[in-house]
Amino acid sequence: MKFVNPRNAPVSSERIPYWNENRAAGLTGAIPPADVFNDPQDEILKVIVEAGLTPDAADKTQLWQALQALIADIVSGSTPENATRAIRYGPLCPSIEVPPGSISMFAAATAPTGWLKCNGQAVSRATYADLFAAIGTSWGVGDAVSTFNVPDFRGEFLRGFDDGRGIDAGRVFGSFQDYATARPQTDDVARVNGDGSLGTLRQAGNATPSTNPSEVGFARVAKTGERNVNDGWDPGGGGNPYVDIVNVTTGDAETRPRNRAVLYIIKT
């Protein structure tokens, strides 16, 4: 809250208490400015209005009614976010409005009040009207009548929508993209021959080395689980034309960075 110092107090950025008059000591009492009365009334009115009451000058219990109503709403989980802050920190605490449809990561397995898990669930268009107005059916039409779907981000990494930049061209907003492993980014095109020696990779019938890094591989007899890439590639050194670029018998089911599992939630 705002502290208002006495008018006859020394200028100070710190709070100066009011004091009583002491005639015997020749001490004049503190002089209260108008803000001493106006500011507390403004704060009380904010609490009363936030609780949904209409200010009534004849009712001396409205502040108590407002506090009871707001506390009851907090307990039931139905209080607006800015009202909750008013109870916890005071009615002049700046309120941060989080728009419906905002996505956040949460460090618990249960969504807090005012948020839903991003698990693809179908929810009511009437109950979550603000969220429906924000995201519509971008993530699913629900039953196409009374429900719609929230995003399903379980087990997913999120990627910024390209929106015309060209880095991830052709993407539709909200669309799914499967995992992939890129070609090596190198201009040093070479091959390991069947005998272990290094050689220049050439395509069959070409007199010049290949300049496509995706054709880098091993020319030798195939192993179990390897894919045959036998489309005019140089077998080199008499080995069979197999290129060791895919080995389904080793490795994991996906390519991924180190990560930790958190809960994605969406503001209602």
pLDDT score for 233: 45
- Quick one: pLDDT at residue 184? 63
61 in a domain, yes or no? yes
Of 89-98, 110-119, 168-177, the least confident: 89-98
Rounded percentage of the chain residues whose pLDDT exceeds 90:
28
For the chain, state the CA radius of gyration.
35
Average pLDDT, rounded, for the chain: 76
Residues of the domain holding 85: 34-89
Number of domains in the chain: 1
The per-residue pLDDT for 253 is: 76
The answer to the question of residue 101 being in a domain is: no
- What contacts 140, CB < 8 A, 6 or more positions away? 120, 122, 148, 149, 150
Lowest mean pLDDT segment, chosen from 104-113, 126-135, 188-197: 188-197
**235-250 pLDDT tens trace:** 444 444 444 444 445 5
Please give the residue that has the higher pLDDT: either 199 or 10. 10
pLDDT in tens, 26-44: 888 989 888 888 888 888 8
Q: Is residue 103 part of a domain?
A: no
Check whether 14 has a pLDDT greater than 50: yes
Q: Is residue 48 part of a domain?
A: yes
pTM of the model: 0.47
Q: Is residue 65 part of a domain?
A: yes
In a domain, 71, yes or no: yes
242 DSSP β-pair partners:
220
Does the residue 38 lie in any domain?
yes
Residue 136 pLDDT level (bands cut at 50, 70, 90):
very high
Q: Are strands 191-192 and 147-149 parallel, antiparallel or unpaired?
A: unpaired
Q: Are strands 191-192 and 198-199 parallel, antiparallel or unpaired?
A: antiparallel
Is pLDDT at 222 greater than 50 in this prediction? no
pLDDT in tens, 154-197: 999 998 899 999 999 988 998 998 888 776 665 555 555 556 66
User: Does 109 reside within a domain?
Assistant: no
Of the pLDDT bands very low, low, confident and very high (cuts 50, 70, 90), residue 256 is confident
